[in-house]
Structure 1
């Protein structure tokens, strides 16, 4: 199974508008971070996790073929702002979108024209599937197990697929969820905002390292990282073995 990092940045992305820091002024493509999203592919199945406002740009030069499912972690704009850009992929049929009850309700309000009885011609054909934490489901030949994490006080979803886990925007996670994940994760993709200055709803690098070690992940890739984390090449020198800052366009096999 191939994982492609479509975006590894925060809600502002990098470079940040109006910022002249070393990261935002860098010419290194590893320092250009679009809003966080990944593409998961087997020979038969293609799944997108989150569909942010950079989705069109992220997919522009990738093979145009069916998207079998879109997993939604939560409905903050940087994670769902590109939903309307799914329209071209509806040439292959309706697109199944998977979200928990709160996120599904939010999507109905955010893009109501996709869910009316008499739809305007050309709107995305979205089939909304409500999912629950800890109840697995299948998309093609991929089994997905959603689990609960907390984005500050907001409950959102992480996803376990085989021995690969994807988590974004986490601040905390419950003991039951940790126990259910411990020893099951080989490859972890998890948010790490920056090195210092605590945030009310995002974990820092040290938090992400501690979480990874708690669940005994073999290798960990950091995403949803802001420009304050520093340049890609410099940040990666600071991490222990088995940890690295992901970059846009990076591909890994799990």
Structure 2
């Protein structure tokens, strides 16, 4: 299985509009972050987790030519706003795009993209095949996926586990029974927003504490804000098996 980080930034991305801080002014590509999303390629199946505002740019930058399904973690704009651009895959693949999300997220998508779900559609709008999911395993084209429920302050969010890999974003707390799903992984991807306390995201120290508790062989941090600091400087402070992810980075698991 190949994993590619399409975006590793938080809701504003980096650089932040009008910001002149050291991170936003950096010319190091590792400090330039689109909104968080990953690409999963396994057994001739290509999946994307979340279609944020940068979805079109991410597909072009990574030369994605096939997309078999989209998984949504939750309904916030920085994770769904690019849904309209799946229509390019509709046209090329001549199929409705399967989308997988909890029912409450699907309801919000129907509000935000009412024209996609209308009974009478304007020609050329995206078309989707809706798959509501609960907190139980499901399969896409032979790829087994297990949701992992985390809490984003008071909003439930799904992470996803495939084999010995798990992707968690927008988490602040995780119940003990959900943590059990995350123990003994080869690779864990986890959000680490900033240094200072935040109401709905893990801080760097909280993310490190959770890695220490769950003990994956390798961990990557994502959903990073400019408040975390310069990539190279923060990376120097991390244990050898923990890395800040960066846009375009790929690995096999």
User: What TM-score results when the alignment is normalised by the length of structure 1?
Assistant: 0.96
Matches within 5 A, 1:79-158: 79-91=79-91, 92=93, 93-133=95-135, 135-158=136-159
Q: Count matched residues.
A: 251
**Contact 2:187/2:216 (<8 A) preserved:** yes
1:37 aligns with 2:37: yes
Map residues 1-254 of structure 1 onto 2, 5 A cutoff: 1-91=1-91, 92=93, 93-133=95-135, 135-183=136-184, 185-195=185-195, 197-254=196-253
* Contact 1:68 1:96 (8 Å CA) reproduced: yes
Rounded to whole Å, the distance in 2 between the matches of 1:205 and 1:138 is 33
Map Cα deviations across residues 9-40 of structure 1 (whole Å, 9 max, x no partner): 00010001111111100111111000000000
Q: Secondary structure at the match of 2:212?
A: helix
For 1:63 and 1:42, the matched residues in 2 are separated by 17
Which 4+ residue blocks in structure 1 deviate beyond 4 angstroms?
none
Matches of 1:213 and 1:82, distance apart in 2 = 35
| Corresponding residue SS for 2:61 | coil
Question: TM-score by structure 2 length?
Answer: 0.96
Using the TM superposition, give the Cα deviation of residue 43 of structure 1 relative to its aligned residue in structure 2, in angstroms: 4.3
RMSD: 1.0
8 A Cα contact 1:44 1:141, kept in partner: no
Structure 2: give runs of 5+ residues left out of the alignment: none
